[in-house]
Amino acid sequence: MMEQGLWHGRQDTSPNLADVLERVLDKGLIIAGDIKINLLDIELLTIKLRLLVASVDKAKAMGIDWWEHDPALSQPGPRQLAAENARLRKQVRALETATLKARR
């Protein structure tokens, strides 16, 4: 058996996740198996992923791991994002007010 490395020739790593998903989710022959999964829904999910990550590893390396807390993209986990957003907005408003006052 040939190694996958040969398939990706001069590229030193395995293919980018976005490229793999593009092919295994959007391409390839569709067979109606005994277990039916609507991959269209999964495709929508990956479109959302594509908007944000081409490489999970790269995103993680950049410290971006929000999807681990997004119930739509991960297992049900802490759903505190909305609350945190509200809290941060409030904090931003407070800082803006303080800055304006300081300038006057």
Partner 1 sequence: MSAASYTYAVARPFDPAQAAGLVGVDGAAIHLVRHQDLVAVVSPLAPADANETALRARLETLAELEAIARAHHRVVAAVAACTPTLPFRLATVHRTNDRVAQLLRREYRRFCETLDRLAGRVEVGVKIYVHHADASAGAMSVAEKTGGSGSARVGRDYLQYRREQRDRRQHAWRRATTAAEQMDAVLAGLAVDRRQHRMQSAELAAAPGENVFNAAYLVDAGRAEELAARARRLGAENPHVTIEITGPWPPYSFAGSEECT
| Chain positions contacting partner 1, by CB under 8 A | 1-2, 4, 6-9, 11, 14-37, 39, 42, 45-46, 49-56, 58-59, 62, 64, 67, 72-75
CB of 78 to partner 1, least distance (A): 15
**Nearest-angstrom CA–CA distance, 81 and 89:** 12
| Residue in the block written with tokens 């941060």 | 88
Closer to partner 1 by CB, 64 or 88: give it.
64
Residues whose CB falls within 8 Å of the CB of residue 68, separated by 6 or more in sequence, listed in order: 74, 77
Least distance to partner 1, CB of residue 50, Å: 6
Structure tokens at 94: 């407070």
